[in-house]
A and B are shown apart, each in its own frame.
Chain A
Amino acid sequence: MSTQIDLLKIEKKAYRDSQQDGLMEVMMGLILMIFGGFFYSPIFAFYIILIIFSGKIVEFIRRRYTHPRIGFVKFHEENPKDALAGVFLFEFAVIVIIFTLISIFGDVKDYSQWVKWSPLFFGMILVGPFAHAASRSGSIRYTGYAILSVVLGLFFSLIEFGSGCAGLILYLVLIGAFLFLGGLVIFSQFLRKYPLPAEDGPYASK
């Protein structure tokens, strides 16, 4: 029996279930839209404070809406050194890819070329967190987000826009809105799927 216990499968299910409320998408979408707004007008810099507290905000909402419905789980913390090394390596690889692309299709000394390819750059950066979530949860949903972010990034990089950052702004707002609205739909489905247990019911008493 024991040899049939797939601990990795159990861990992935636990992670997937803990993320099924869609709040990660909501917050990530909001952050991307704020970034888009920031490139449009510095007034949006004020909202960057939301990004700083995004973790706390999600935690607060989860404590009120998610944990009373499906419970709370704390996972083993990943080694911060390994995680940081992975992030740096990944970012470096993305920069090398973008540098190569610009060298092939344009001039690396031309600033406007970097701006033009910035949607793809952001799209590839987004692959990092989505791939991480996909590998931890085994959910195809995150793989879909990763593919979408790169494909959309490439699309917006190839289209010619009049003003400098228009492509990047459109890309960030569009992918942000997609994640934000998609997350809200997932969250509302989650609330319907898991009604709050009765105050004096057996689940609430433990």
Chain B
Amino acid sequence: MPASDASENDHQPIAEIDRLIHEPARLMIMANLYVVESADFLFLMHQTGLTHGNLSSHMSKLEAVGYIEVVKEFVDKKPHTMLRLTDAGRDAFQEYRERMMEVLR
């Protein structure tokens, strides 16, 4: 096998890393949602330390690719946003972890 081919294969796991999850803020959101069934916006803000705007923007990106489900509801006549990982999001996060372990092995 030519040297360049071997090198390409060595870097294959890195190339396959999910860039959407790899971003630190989104990684925190995904990790925090992975360990629970669901959490609301405020709880995630406290857990991740992200600002309202930051969390909102990353939440939209993760929702757009179908990794998280965002449910807006009213509790005591006040708006309330619940977030949870979808099955696709759970699989993607699991795959991301395996891929990273492979890369750093």
Contact = CB atoms under 8 A, between A and B. Distances in A.
B46 A75 contact: no
A71 B41 contact: yes
A203 B56 CA distance: 11
A2 B36 contact: no
A73 B34 CA distance: 12
B3 interface: no
A10 interface: yes
Contacts, number: 89
A14 B52 contact: no
5 contacts: A14-B32, A14-B43, A70-B43, A74-B36, A203-B42
B45 interface: yes
Interface string B24-60: 1001000110111111111111110000110010000
Nearest to B101: A3
Interface of A: 1-3, 5, 7, 10-11, 13-14, 17-18, 63, 67-68, 70-77, 197, 202-206
Given A3-B101, A5-B97, A11 B42 contact: no
Interface residues of B, number: 35
Contact of A73 (B39, B76, B96, B99): B39
B11 interface: no
Contact of A2 (B27, B41, B47, B56): B27
Most chain A C-beta atoms within 10 Å of own C-beta, residue among B43, B75, B82: B43
Q: Which 10 A-B pairs have the closest CB atoms?
A: A71-B43, A71-B42, A2-B100, A11-B35, A206-B41, A73-B39, A202-B52, A74-B37, A72-B40, A71-B40
Given A71-B41, A73-B38, A3 B100 contact: yes
A172 B72 CA distance: 45
Contact of A17 (B27, B46, B82, B97): B46
B35 A5 contact: no
B79 interface: yes
A203 B101 contact: no
